[in-house]
Amino acid sequence: MMVTATAKAKPAQTRTHLLAAAAEEMRQNGFRAASLDHILTQAGVTKGALYHHFRNKLELGYAVLEEVFRVQLLENWAHALEDASDPIDGLIQQVRQLAETATAESLQHGCPLNNLAQEMAGVEEGFRVRIERVFGDWRGLIASALEKGKSDGTVRVNLDSDKSALFITAVIEGSVGAAKNARDPAVLKSCFEGLEHYLLALRPRVSFRGSGARSAGTS
């Protein structure tokens, strides 16, 4: 009773603690093997408070996907693309940063969104649809940046930005997956070098900004 009262007194905080603990548990164990008891212990919250906020484990999982994983991914990429002088530079900086900050430890659990997709897409339609929406938003961010690059003259005008964004995100997820299983940042670096060559080849053959040297070294 007392705990329920506490949960009601600070419902938003309780919810935030639950989401953070559930996100960490799902990062480590995926969704189906995630332990509710462990989440409750980590969040310092009772089962009653949990069910005050989420009808069941599935609803908690959806909330982690949409309020934690989705937000982190999109904010990260939105900033990377906004900060860059042009989309190709922005994408290259972002994949370089991912490669440079990766460690054997950070790679242990790979990309939580991709893990969730591989685990749940085939068995739980509600997750699949929600994950697809996140992937779609991520691709949309990249495609918009590429479209802007086309009008700015930093991306070749005959590029299909949607297809390219899909390819870029698939290469990233495949690369992180390979590095995760190898438990080796060098695997990520190597794959991302291949991706960089692809990205450099998205520049116009002759740059409209007079920086033709950019498209060198793409072989």
The footprint of a copy of itself (CB under 8 A) covers 28-30, 32-33, 108-110, 114-115, 117-119, 121-123, 128, 131-132, 135, 163-164, 166-167, 169-175, 177-178, 180-183, 187, 190-191, 193-194, 198, 201, 219
Give the separation between CA 47 and CA 52, rounded to whole angstroms: 9
| Residue number with CB closer to a copy of itself (7 or 92) | 92
| Residue number with CB closer to a copy of itself (75 or 193) | 193
| Residue number with CB closer to a copy of itself (43 or 187) | 187
Nearest approach in angstroms of CB 16 to a copy of itself is 25
**Could you give the angle at the alpha carbon of 21 between the alpha carbons of 19 and 25, nearest 5°?**
115
- Angle (deg, nearest 10), helices 161-182 and 185-200: 160
Nearest approach in angstroms of CB 128 to a copy of itself is 6
The total of other beta-carbon atoms located within 10 Å of residue 136's CB is: 14
Distances (CA, A) of 87 to 52, 83, 162: 44, 9, 14
| Residue number with CB closer to a copy of itself (45 or 146) | 146
Nearest approach in angstroms of CB 178 to a copy of itself is 4
Give the separation between CA 185 and CA 86, rounded to whole angstroms: 27
